[in-house]
Amino acid sequence: MNQEETKQINQDRILSEGIERELYDFRDEETDAQFYRMKEGLTEEIVREISEMKHDPEWMLEFRLKSLALYDQIKMPDWGPSIDGLNMDNIAAYVRSRSDMKGSWDEVPEDIKNAFEKLGIPQAERESLAGVGAQYDSELVYHSVREDVAKQGVVYTDMESALTGEYEQMVKDHFMKLVPPTDHKFAALHGAVWSGGSFVYVPKGVKVEIPLQSYFRLNAKGAGQFEHTLIIVDEGADLHFIEGCSAPKYNIANLHAGCVELYVRKNARLRYSTIENWSRNMYNLNTKRAIVEEGGVIEWVSGSFGSHESYLYPTSVLKGEGSHAEFTGVTFAGAGQNLDTGAKMIHIGKNTSSFIDTKSISKGGGISTYRSSVEIRKSAEGSKASVNCGSLMLDSISRSDTIPAVDVRTDKADVGHEAKIGRISDDAVFYLMSRGIPESEARAMIVSGFASPVSKELPLEYAAEMNNLIKMEMEGG
Amino acid sequence: MAEKLVEIENISAGIEEGQILDGVSLQIGPGQTHVLMGPNGAGKSTLGNVLMGNPVYRVSGGRILFDGQDITELGADKRAQLGMFMSFQNPLEVPGLSLEEFIRNAIRQKTGKPIKIFQFKKQLAEAMELLGMDESYAGRDLNVGFSGGEKKKAEILQLLMLRPKFAILDETDSGLDVDAVRTVSKGIEEYQKREEGSLLIITHSTRILESLHVDHAHIIVKGRLVASGGEELVAKVNEEGFEAFS
């Protein structure tokens, strides 16, 4: 069977399969016997306890305490969706399984294994991934990398191992250097209580042919997840990293304040893809940033579907001459969701280029805000930037805003911007229905089509997952 | 099979702002080709849309039977699944959905069965060749950036692929040059021949009828059918226009 036929069959399968909402919504009770749960709130005592449990080196404890002090000083953001519903006194910053991280899937505790198996995680690894990390609540429960990839010198491990092992210095040199705890309140929070996440190092000139993937599952109720992802792609190397996240729904707030730091060296290329499907009680206050050296390329592909509220603006710092960044994203805000998403491009080097293409969809009273910033510094002569954002509102009670900021400090730059806001066309729905396609399916097809610039950029399984999520959102109230 | 495939019984319909159709009755038998002509604004397209179940139009009286079943309240998707089809006057553009993918989905909805891809591709390629469509159109986003002629060809392509029992062709010839009309007619002929399908051809000109066999013609003026007859009616319109009927 050729590739196109396989693709066809997969698409057919996806379109014909019923939607299983419980695919993401199942939850498992966590008992004291199986799980250790830090008491709720945020105090120096709690931060010290986390640090001790994680066997931090001394400098990390200091780093955490400094971050905590910053957290207490920095004000809440006052420019985006309201986060009044989030009270740190009700959030457990650290929850872990009493079982240690495993390198073999069979050894992972049964309930956790089942949870990931329902999400198709190990299956995906066997089929199409170079390595997999699976985080459950605050810690990784599983990490593995394919032997042939490890032989190329690629390091893919959990942050804790990296911090205490032979890569400690490398971690120390890069950890929260791109996103310092002074950046904003939740960066400070992250610095204080971070736990879990992955460390990736791709040596010079190594091209990793198939993606690495980390999956984050926050199962605990009233808890926070603060994973740290640190990726260094050395000169001329090439990597595709995928992260997925989900959580079951609870009636009290959960918090995700992860941090992603990406270092793309000279002539290296990194693609960072995310499918985020947090439950509707999640405050997703995530910070992602990449710095790109001469001739390097960062490509962000981002699908945001979940959470109650999101603040998410992956940032690319184009430092080196001729470096390039692309951001392709789709955001879907349904009932009760206020998703404030976009991207940030900072052009520093000469002849740098950036390209933003986003689609936001809102439905059922959901609010979707596209917020971006393109900054071209004086040094960035000969740079080019293009922003293209489209919004689609599916009914008259939903809202869509576009807030694109552009700041250009040199005459020798070329910046383009195009924004489109529209409603789903009843005529188009009727058109598809006149061919025998039911109304909900017709709407889903139009929305999937609208979002296709993103799904086209994803590996097949993830594109399928994304289309599935769209279909689910379209059918849900 | 019912003796009459489509039975329009005293249909009145309109939009919020007012009534457009005023008690229209019309019957179409299996395999028959009917032509509906009339001046602009007479209600031709409204009748087509009401037949197909466009929710923009509200039916205020009468009923529609298809194959003996009352479909007046059915949604467009259900009507299509029963074997109805409409070629749109202004086909809609759907970015991100390819023509091929769209047709495949529609066929699957209709048959409820997975599609044999090889066979589907072959049929699609043949139908496209008949219509003189470049094969690259299959992978292009549905109607996006298509010329007027290509859009109409794509409609007829869907007609050939979906194989309905009854098709409404709403101004399929409008805005087409002579060659395109000829090509589109060829596709319609193929449908008449191969599927023995019924047709309601809505037009305000007669160009598309030159090469097609017509069983019955109807003239609509101000929402009412004012004349029905055979092919001679078409000739009369050609000579005298619609003036004679008002």
What is the domain partition of chain A in residue ranges? 1-30+430-477, 34-429
Find chain A residues with C-beta within 8 A of B86's C-beta.
434
| Average pLDDT over chain B, rounded to an integer | 92
Mutation for A interface: B105, B111, B162, most A CBs within 10 A: B105
Instruction: Give the contacts of A136 (CB within 8 A, at least 6 positions apart).
Output: A97, A112, A115, A116, A217, A219
Q: How far is CA B164 from the centre of its chain?
A: 10
Distance (Å, rounded) from C-alpha A274 to C-alpha A311? 15
**B15-29 per-position pLDDT tens digit:** 988 999 999 999 999
Helix locations, B163-204, DSSP H: 178-195
Which of helix, strand or coil describes residue A167? Answer: coil
Q: Which of A11, A15, A433 sits opposite B75 (nearest CB)?
A: A433
Q: What's the pLDDT at A323? A: 98
User: How many Cβ pairs closer than 8 A exist between chain A and B?
Assistant: 91
With an 8 Å Cβ cutoff, the interface of chain B facing chain A consists of 52-56, 75-77, 79-81, 85-86, 88, 91-97, 101-102, 104-106, 108-110, 114-115, 117, 141, 158, 162
- Residue B122 Cα distances to A94, B100, B138, B161, B163, angstroms: 58, 12, 12, 11, 15
**Cβ pair A221, A252 in contact under 8 A:** yes
Interface membership of A75 toward B (CB under 8 Å): no
Strands lying side by side in the sheet with B18-28? B18-28, B6-15, B58-66, B69-70
Nearest residue in chain B measured CA to CA from A10: B114
Mutation for B interface: A1, A357, A425, A434, most B CBs within 10 A: A434
Instruction: Give the contacts of B28 (CB within 8 A, at least 6 positions apart).
Output: B4, B5, B6, B7, B34, B166, B198, B200
In B84-185 the beta strands, taken as DSSP E runs, fall at 84-87, 94-98, 141-142, 166-170
Q: What's the pLDDT at A282? A: 93
Interface membership of A425 toward B (CB under 8 Å): yes
Mutation for A interface: B77, B84, B155, most A CBs within 10 A: B77
Q: What's the pLDDT at B87? A: 97
**A329-362 per-position pLDDT tens digit:** 999 999 999 999 999 999 999 999 999 999 999 9
* Tokens representing residue A476 in the block: 């849900």
Mutation for A interface: B52, B94, B113, B135, most A CBs within 10 A: B94
DSSP code, position A366: -
**Cβ pair A70, A182 in contact under 8 A:** yes
Distance (Å, rounded) from C-alpha B7 to C-alpha A445? 32
| The CA-based dihedral angle spanning residues A59, A61, A64, A69, taken in that order and rounded to the nearest 10 degrees | -100
Find chain B residues with C-beta within 8 A of A442's C-beta.
77
pLDDT < 70 stretches in chain A: 1-23, 121-127, 476-477
User: Are A441 and B91 a contacting pair at CB < 8 A?
Assistant: no
* Tokens representing residue A419 in the block: 């924004």
User: Are A425 and B92 a contacting pair at CB < 8 A?
Assistant: yes
**A31-40 per-position pLDDT tens digit:** 877 888 888 9
Interface membership of A18 toward B (CB under 8 Å): no
* Tokens representing residue A320 in the block: 């080196």
Sign of CA dihedral A125, A128, A133, A137: negative
Q: What's the pLDDT at B246? A: 67
Distance (Å, rounded) from C-alpha A328 to C-alpha B163? 39
* Tokens representing residue A291 in the block: 């710095």
Sign of CA dihedral A456, A457, A462, A467: negative
N residues, chain B: 246
Nearest residue in chain A measured CA to CA from B97: A449
pLDDT level of residue B115 (50, 70, 90 thresholds):
confident
Distance (Å, rounded) from C-alpha A269 to C-alpha A101? 30
Nearest residue in chain A measured CA to CA from B110: A436
CA angle centred on B98, ends B96 and B104, rounded to 5°:
130
Nearest residue in chain B measured CA to CA from A425: B92
Q: For residue A163, how many C-alpha atoms fall within 13 Å in the half-sphere facing its CB?
A: 21
User: Are B96 and A450 a contacting pair at CB < 8 A?
Assistant: yes
DSSP code, position A88: G
Predicted interface score ipTM higher than 0.90: yes
User: Are A15 and B105 a contacting pair at CB < 8 A?
Assistant: yes
Interface membership of A15 toward B (CB under 8 Å): yes
Phi-psi bin for A29: left (phi > 0), alpha (psi -120 to 50), beta?
A: beta
Q: What's the pLDDT at A403? A: 94
Interface membership of A10 toward B (CB under 8 Å): no
